[in-house]
Amino acid sequence: MTSRLLRHALVLLRRAEMIAAIALLAAVVAIVLVGTVGRYSGHPVIWSDEAAQALFVWLAMLAADLTLQRAGHFRIDVLVRLLPPTARFLLELAIKLTVAVLLVALVYYGWLLARLSDFRPLPMTGVPSSWAVAALPVAYALMIVTVIEQVIRHLRGLPDAEAEARDVM
């Protein structure tokens, strides 16, 4: 029961994350378009670049987790593939756990940075820059969830997204 509930919550989280990324992309494109048209028509929208940049930080960080979910980040595994299955299993587990520890540290320091940025407003909008910087600890926390999911799948012997990852070059 609890496992089913967690799986359902994870599906909802992933769906919300994808919807947020799509909405952010649309907003960034719309804001940049409005700013560009305004600038060339002689009526610049002075806050457009700043708002687009702040939203792009959120978009980039969400995209990093979406890419992690699909094992789309660059890696060189030539030597890993030469290892026997048990050593490869343990090395992959060690890599995932190391990434998780790094992400915990990044959540902490991202949170500290967001708190420090709260006192510095964005110049054109006056919005605290912590709103943009908050994308860092939020996305790192989402990445921790992703890595935990990957570790559990790995320990259960289920195929990783890496097995289904497609070449992009």
- Confidence band for 169, pLDDT divided at 50, 70 and 90: very low
Q: 164 falls in which pLDDT band (50, 70, 90)?
A: low
State the Cα–Cα distance between residues 60 and 58, nearest whole angstrom: 6
Q: What is the DSSP letter of 160?
A: P
| Nearest alpha-carbon partner for 69 in 143, 168, 152 | 143
Percentage above 90 pLDDT, the chain = 78
- Residue range 112-136: average pLDDT? 93
Q: What does DSSP assign to residue 121?
A: B
Which residues, at least 6 apart from 139, have a Cβ–Cβ distance to it below 8 Å?
58, 61, 62, 64, 65
- How far apart (Å, rounded) are the C-alpha atoms in residues 93 and 118? 37
Residue carrying the six token digits 């012997």: 157
Q: Are 35 and 45 in contact (CB under 8 A)?
A: yes
Given a cut of 70, is residue 36 above it in pLDDT? yes
Distance CA 10, CA 39 (A): 43
Q: What is the DSSP letter of 40?
A: H
The half-sphere exposure of 153 on its side-chain side, counting CA atoms within 13 A, is 16
Measure the CA–CA gap between 155 and 63, rounded to whole angstroms: 26
What is the pLDDT averaged over residues 108-126? 93
Mean pLDDT of 53-76: 93
Helix (H, G, I), strand (E, B) or coil at 159: coil
pLDDT, averaged across the chain? 91
Distance CA 12, CA 137 (A): 20
Cβ atoms of residues 162 and 96 within 8 Å: no
